[in-house]
Amino acid sequence: MSFRRWRIAKSDKILSRSVAQRFSINGFAAHLLTSRGCVSDGQVSDMLGLEDDTAAFIDPFEIIDMDKAVARIRRAVDQFEAIAIYGDYDVDGVTSTALLYSYLESVDANVMYYIPDREGEGYGLNCRAIDKLHEMNISLIITVDNGISAVKEVAHANSLGIDVVVTDHHQEGEELPEAVAVVNPHRKGSQCRFTEYAGVGVAFKLVCALEGDSLTVLENCGDLVALGTVADVVSLTGENRRLVRLGLRQLQNSGRVGLSTLMDMAGLTGKQVTSTNIAFVIAPRLNAAGRLGHASRAVALLTTDYEEDAFAIAEELTAQNKERQAIEQIIDREVSEMLEKDRSVLYDRVIVISGENWNGGVIGIFASRICERYGKPCFIISYEGEKAKGSGRSIEGFSLYDAVSACSEHLTGFGGHTLAAGINLKTEKIEDFRKAINDYAMSVFPAMPSPELRIDCQLPPSALTLELCEASQLLEPYGEDNPVPLIAVMGLTITDIFGAGGGKHQRLTLERGGTVITAMKFSTASEDFPFRTGDVVDIAVTLDKSVYRGRESLTLIVRDMRLSETHFDEINDGRRLFEKMMRGEKLSETETESLRPTRNTLAAVYRAVSGGYRGEADVLGCRLKRQGAGFGAMLVSLRILYEGGLLSITDDGRILRVEPVQRSGQSGKILPESTPTAMRIGYRNV
């Protein structure tokens, strides 16, 4: 995981105390609420679910064109016109499709659904699909979770005499499609009080408008709304929060045969269904259909009334999810091999990695992983012949949608959000795109935004109690804009480190001021854990409640960890200057001087890693700073020693691995001052 700046939320003790008193809640829960902007009685009641969740649903007709959409759909139902619901292949798309299809079927509409093939057709409306629907005598297409940018495609449908109703939640472009209605809460001039719906949320509002009764609709499809909303990582505030809260209750005892079967196969039977379960257990299995098969199978699962069909499809999706995990491992290995040969792409402001015939359904997952590892915007592009398509993910502060819009001359198509985007382009244009998006980043951001870890509060170790954990659970369900509470504990001395799970995880004993706590650092092997007993550290933890033999206990889970002497800006500035040098950009004399190591610095770095080093680079940097080596100079020293044949270095964005090169005599090694980096930086062995 990339090195992140810790941002601890500011505390207004007077305001928090007032909220705690007014609502008779724990002071910690009150702090969480106020630090997240919930200060009025209405906001607090909404967050805690103290009022009737169904009482305050926003009138669906507040969304522009909803009246036009309802009128056209009702006419189609009354006249038994052939209607096609045109969906998308992710969880948001398939739940939107299943929701609208189930409703229209229940009112005896002549309805079918169409999900484009991810590999053969790509995202959104396409003219070939419209031609197919025309041959089937479809007279009305209703899009869900897509369509806002389908200007050409809607015009083609119009030319064939097919009306189109667009329902979408993505950002609109410069031109809207000439549809009968364009239902999107993000449209310019919108007066809708809440706009952050997922695609399934917009579909839900459409059905509410058609039915004239939000409560009845929610009782029938709240589970689908919760699934799509959580899976699409939209804001879990406002009406989304109420929809998910009610939907989770339905999921707990879902009457939907397909969902119940899938949840049973996933091991969730009898367990509390949470937003975390959806995000990491249910959604990946539903997504697997569109990634490795066809998303229509996921819609079939969500709409079937037959147990045999449900079991067969659930088995199919479970198998595809396992296959997806295997494909990810293959791509991960191929990317690692590519980066080992040429790391220059990692020094870019925006990482662009391309490979041949990578599975188009998996590259988005991998883009998220690379973005998380290196703390930079990232595009993973798969090409086959002359055509290529890519999936991008970003960090807060860098809009991918704005970036790809600025590079559109190199693309044949694009779409997305601030933090995620998809692109289509010609294979020959991949390098042009890489250069263009990095030129854009340099022109808009002389210093790129840094990844941040948002922490709710700082507490002493003595304050970490089971009561605190129970208080934080008042804010469930967690999700986007309402994350699991994160607590910083500073200045702890490590007194014991124990490798658990065969050394795959670390159980830490830490002490401060006479208080001893135990915390778990999961998914960190003993050999990759750079901390030692006696180190003074800061940790960021989440609280979890464990039950063993009927007894409840508190478990602290370490989400981030650093030496207490760490200074983010020093490390971040050093890394940026090093990457600037590696990109071949001009450095000022001051910048060059801060990167140029002395002979003593080079020697200190070599001594520190001569026995090997595995762990985060910032930890090594902090230890070397005690010997006068700045972080940028440390990175330059490692590069010089690598180029000189003295060290073997790999860095996967999470763990820096350094090993001395064992050779007889000095054969194959060169003088440090003769390496390319030493000559570039002006290092002299004096």
pLDDT digits (tens, 9 = 90+) for 445-488: 988 999 999 999 999 999 999 999 999 999 999 998 899 999 99
Is residue 43 very low, low, confident or very high in pLDDT (cuts 50, 70, 90)? confident
Q: What pLDDT does residue 253 have? A: 82
Lowest mean pLDDT among 74-83, 286-295, 554-563: 286-295
Helix (H) or strand (E) holding 493: strand 487-500
Q: Residue 120: what pLDDT?
A: 79
Going by pLDDT thresholds of 50, 70 and 90, the confidence category of residue 53 is: low
Residue-level pLDDT at 671: 73
- Per-residue pLDDT, 50: 79
pLDDT at 193 over 60: yes
Residue 506, beta-bridge partner list? 499, 521
Predicted confidence (pLDDT) at residue 383 exceeds the cutoff of 70: yes
Strand-pair category, 82-86 with 140-144: parallel
Check residue 301 and give its pLDDT: 96
pLDDT at 252: 87
- In the prediction, which pLDDT does 664 show? 58
Q: What is the mean pLDDT of residues 598-611?
A: 93
User: How large is the average pLDDT for residues 604-625?
Assistant: 94
| Structural domains of the chain in order of their starting residue, each with its CATH number | 5-9+454-563 (2.40.50.460), 61-316 (3.90.1640.30), 342-450 (3.10.310.30), 568-681 (no CATH)
Task: Evaluate if residue 57 carries a pLDDT over 90.
Answer: no
616 pLDDT above the threshold of 70: yes
The per-residue pLDDT for range 531-542, each reduced to its tens digit, is 999 999 999 999
Contact between residue 669 and residue 636 where contact means Cβ atoms under 8 Å apart: no
**Tokens coding 37:** 């902007």
Tell whether the model's pLDDT for residue 204 goes beyond 70.
yes
**8-17 pLDDT per residue, tens:** 998 889 999 9
What pLDDT is stored for residue 1 in this prediction? 53
Mean pLDDT of the chain: 92
Closest CA to 114 of 354, 96, 601: 96
- What does the pLDDT average to over 376-399? 94
Closest by CA position to 595, among listed 552, 554, 638, 563:
638
pLDDT the model gives residue 686: 56
Q: Across 288-336, where does the E strand assignment appear?
A: none
Res 54: pLDDT: 63
Q: Is 620 helix (H, G, I), strand (E, B) or coil?
A: helix
State the average pLDDT over residues 1-10: 86
Q: Give the pLDDT score at 270.
A: 82
Give me the percent of the chain exceeding a pLDDT of 70: 98
Per-residue pLDDT reduced to its tens digit, 221-243: 999 999 999 999 899 988 999 99
In a 13 Å sphere around the CA of 99, the CA atoms on its Cβ side amount to 35
**Partner residues linked to 390 by β-bridges:** 381, 423
3 state SS of 506: strand
Q: Which residues pair with 480 in a beta bridge?
A: 235
Continuous H helices in 532-598: 568-582, 589-595
Tell which wins on pLDDT, 670 or 274.
Answer: 274
d(CA 607, CA 593): 22
Neighbours of 180 (CB within 10 A): 19
What is the rounded average pLDDT of the residues 603-616? 94
Q: What is the per-residue pLDDT for 255?
A: 85
Does position 254 have pLDDT exceeding 70, yes or no? yes
Distance of CA 632 to the CA centre of its chain: 29
- Residues with Cβ within 8 Å of 24's Cβ and at least 6 positions away in sequence, in order, are none
pTM: predicted TM-score of the whole model, two decimal places: 0.88
Residue 340: predicted pLDDT: 82
Alpha carbon 159 to chain centroid, angstroms: 39
Whose tokens are 């940028």? That residue is 632
Stretch 417-423: mean pLDDT = 87
- Yes or no: say if 496 and 509 are a contact pair by the CB < 8 Å rule: yes
pLDDT at 4: 92
